[in-house]
Amino acid sequence: MKTGIHPDYREVVFQDVTSDFAFLTRSTLASKETIKWEDGNEYPLVKLDITSASHPFYTGKHKIIDTGGRVDKFRKRYAQK
């Protein structure tokens, strides 16, 4: 591999802002924010809107949404006259 062309691959903490779930992994993402992790070291922090801790599919709180009639409403509203 050529040197100097690849991004830094380092340990980063990803945090779910809705459930305060966080995990430490390796990534090339950069962040100006840092967080002190359980091991006492500081790592870059990347905030996420959804993770497996908050996504309805993984938490079992999946709601079935009735989508019937949405297409008809759209067609009626935006029909060319």
**Domain residues for 72?**
10-77
Is residue 3 a part of any domain in this protein?
no
Is residue 46 a part of any domain in this protein?
yes
Is residue 1 a part of any domain in this protein?
no
Q: Is 21 left (phi over 0), alpha (psi -120 to 50) or beta?
A: beta
Per-residue pLDDT reduced to its tens digit, 2-36: 888 988 899 999 998 888 889 999 999 989 999 99
Domain count, the chain: 1
The model's pTM: 0.64
- Binned at pLDDT 50, 70 and 90, residue 56 comes out as low
Strands of the chain, DSSP E: 10-16, 22-27, 34-36, 42-48
Is residue 47 a part of any domain in this protein?
yes
